[in-house]
Homo-oligomer: A and B are copies of this chain.
Amino acid sequence: MALLIYVVEDDRNICEIESYALKNNGYKVEIFPNAESFYEKMEQHKPDLILLDVMLPDEDGFHILQKLRSNRETRDIPVLMVTAKSTEIDKVRGLDMGADDYLTKPFGVMELISRVKALLRRSHRSVQQNELVLDGIYMNLDNHVVNVNGEVLELTYKEYELCRMLMQNIGNAIPREKFMTRIWGADYEGESRTLDMHIKTLRKKLGDQGSHIKTVRNVGYRMEE
């Protein structure tokens, strides 16, 4: 799956260039022209890297950086600062506040890509997170945590397992018997409404995202985009 990069930058032209270059190199890109829209999105979903301009209409880039670093959830996301001021002091300031790297405008496209690659390589070497994402549903298998639209969702064990099986097979129908054998163990006999029951509560708990679980008549269930 493509790595996701958030670009926080208000200058249209620069956005274009960055976005184009990154997409050309296989990254998924989302653009935020101001801090507010960026924060909003961060609540819901976190990227693999952030390209952060220093000058923004509503908030100082350094300030944003500081906030990111003080939050446990965002502390380890690599941040590449982009600045128009080229004095060294500024660079140092950015770096010491916790930026992982910086770029001075104007910069070459190749340089941008190189630095992004380098940052991603390093951060991915250390943490290989086990994550499943579909629309507003986010699962972290390591943490045993489920988020829906940014909010923590409490699932019981069976519900969690059900959700995991579905999310690990997005697009594919999973037969009822497979659920039974994998979650309920070995040979389950006799018809019962148990599975349907759990599907029901799972759908309900997922709220508006619950409709991603489709019933495949005579077969089982499928998670769908």
The interface of chain A, by Cβ under 8 A from chain B, is: 72-73, 75-76, 78, 88-89, 91-92, 95-96, 98-101, 108, 110-111, 113-115, 117-118, 121-123, 125-127, 142-145, 156-157, 170-173, 216-219, 222, 225
Contact = CB atoms under 8 A, between A and B. Distances in A.
A117 B101 CA distance: 10
A144 B225 contact: no
A72 B225 contact: yes
Contacts of A127: 126
A153 B120 CA distance: 36
A148 to B, nearest CB: 17
A14 B177 CA distance: 52
Contacts of A219: 144, 157
A88 B115 CA distance: 12
Contact of A100 (B98, B122, B225): B122
Contact of A217 (B157, B170, B216, B225): B157
A32 B123 CA distance: 28
Contacts of A114: 88, 91-92, 95-96
A111 B88 CA distance: 7
A121 B92 CA distance: 14
A99 B101 CA distance: 13
Contact of A75 (B92, B99, B125, B145): B125
Contacts of A92: 110, 113-114
A89 B113 CA distance: 12
